[in-house]
């Protein structure tokens, strides 16, 4: 079980494949297992490192109060642990917030930046309400409430209606996770979400950047991805038609085709 330490916090990651490191970072209330559908394909070309952020999975659960800038230091510690001068970085939702801060503060450590289903941060009543609901649902211990609110935020109603078996598979997979998120971990992630704000600083990102978002994402809105694209010079923006928030699961073929094509273009 590969682990490393960052500022006294023990962190876990899953790895597969060989080559240039590709760091995958999940979103709020998830862990490294959220990448399970796409890791095998990425691992044919890269040394994939899927991280459990502090607060979840098999990583330590410190007190809430850390933000994206603190989580960036965890990523730098991982790069140093790997002995990697430069990496490809791919972040989903909260992971994308970390990626933005990483590209602003440490552009010399990145070969490429992929921002999936994420946002620019700052005051956002919609996000605040949703984080409040999700943290309360997790703390309740009620699996119906927990997974029900997660499904609502992750998938479009059209997908849920057309593919109930895929939604049920997602619920069963999540319920069987041997390392479920704790209320303390959810509070820490929620605090990090609300501390995120790169408005006014996105112009500092010079790393080749891909931005993807589901056209029906109700958690991190398509308009927010458009804002990122308009403020990160030279970035590429791709809307995944019909996709909700969790496109790596809902639309794995489209997600892999778009993201892997971008990574390979910037690997040479």
Would you say 28 and 193 are in contact if contact means Cβ atoms under 8 Å apart? yes
Band (268; pLDDT cuts 50, 70, 90):
confident
Return d(Cα 221, Cα 149) in angstroms, integer: 17
Band (219; pLDDT cuts 50, 70, 90):
very high
Strand 9-16 vs strand 3-6: parallel, antiparallel, or unpaired? antiparallel
Give the per-residue pLDDT at 112: 98
Band (152; pLDDT cuts 50, 70, 90):
very high
Domain count, the chain: 1
Instruction: Find all residues with CB under 8 Å of 241, minimum gap 6, and list them.
Output: 215
Residue whose token pair is 């919609």 = 126
Residue 252 region, left (φ>0) first, then alpha (ψ -120 to 50), else beta?
Answer: alpha
Return d(Cα 14, Cα 76) in angstroms, integer: 17
Give the tokens for residue 140. Answer: 């309740």
| Beta bridge partner(s), residue 214 | 240
**Range(s) of the domain holding residue 142:** 3-267
Give the per-residue pLDDT at 102: 98
Backbone angles phi, psi at 203, to 5 degrees: -65, -15
Instruction: Please say if the pLDDT value at position 93 is more than 80.
Output: yes
* Sheet containing 3-6: order of strands: 3-6, 9-16, 47-52, 21-25, 87-92, 110-116, 209-214, 236-240
Average of pLDDT values for 65-72?
Answer: 96
Instruction: Please say if the pLDDT value at position 139 is more than 80.
Output: yes
| pTM for this entry | 0.97
Residue whose token pair is 């993807």 = 212
Instruction: Please say if the pLDDT value at position 1 is more than 90.
Output: no
Query: What is the domain-level CATH number for residue 210?
Result: 3.40.50.1820
Average of pLDDT values for 231-250?
Answer: 97
Instruction: Please say if the pLDDT value at position 46 is more than 80.
Output: yes
Q: How many other β-carbons are positioned within 10 Å of the β-carbon of residue 218?
A: 17
Q: CB pairs under 8 A, 24+ apart, for 227-231?
A: 227/119, 227/120, 228/100, 228/115, 228/118, 228/119, 228/120, 228/202, 231/120, 231/202, 231/203
Helix or strand or coil: residue 25?
Answer: strand
Band (90; pLDDT cuts 50, 70, 90):
very high
- Residue-averaged pLDDT of the chain: 96
Residue whose token pair is 């949703």 = 130
């Amino acid at each position: 079980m590969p682990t490393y330490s960052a500022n006294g916090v023990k962190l876990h990651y899953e790895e597969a494949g060989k080559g240039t490191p590709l760091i995958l970072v999940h979103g709020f209330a998830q862990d490294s297992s959220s990448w399970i559908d796409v890791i095998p394909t990425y691992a044919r070309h890269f040394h994939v490192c899927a991280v459990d952020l502090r607060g979840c999975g098999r990583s330590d659960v410190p007190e809430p109060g850390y933000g994206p800038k603190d989580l960036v230091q965890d990523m730098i510690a991982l790069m140093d642990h790997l002995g990697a001068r430069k990496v490809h970085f791919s972040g989903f939702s909260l992971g994308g917030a970390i990626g933005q801060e990483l590209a602003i503060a440490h552009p010399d450590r990145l070969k490429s930046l992929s921002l999936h289903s994420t946002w620019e941060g700052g005051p956002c009543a919609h996000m605040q309400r949703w984080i409040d609901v999700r943290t309360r649902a997790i703390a309740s211990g009620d699996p119906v409430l927990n997974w029900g609110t997660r499904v609502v935020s992750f998938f479009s109603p059209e997908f849920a209606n057309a593919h109930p078996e895929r939604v049920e598979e997602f619920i069963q997979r999540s319920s069987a996770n041997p390392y479920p998120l704790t209320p303390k971990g959810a509070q820490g992630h929620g605090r990090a979400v609300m501390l995120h704000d790169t408005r006014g600083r996105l112009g500092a990102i010079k790393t080749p950047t891909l931005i993807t978002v589901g056209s029906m994402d109700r958690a991190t809105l398509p308009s927010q991805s458009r804002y990122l694209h308009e403020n990160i010079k030279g970035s590429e923006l791709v809307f995944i038609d019909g996709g909700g928030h969790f496109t790596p699961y809902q639309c794995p073929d489209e997600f892999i085709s778009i993201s892997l094509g971008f990574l390979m273009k910037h690997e040479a």
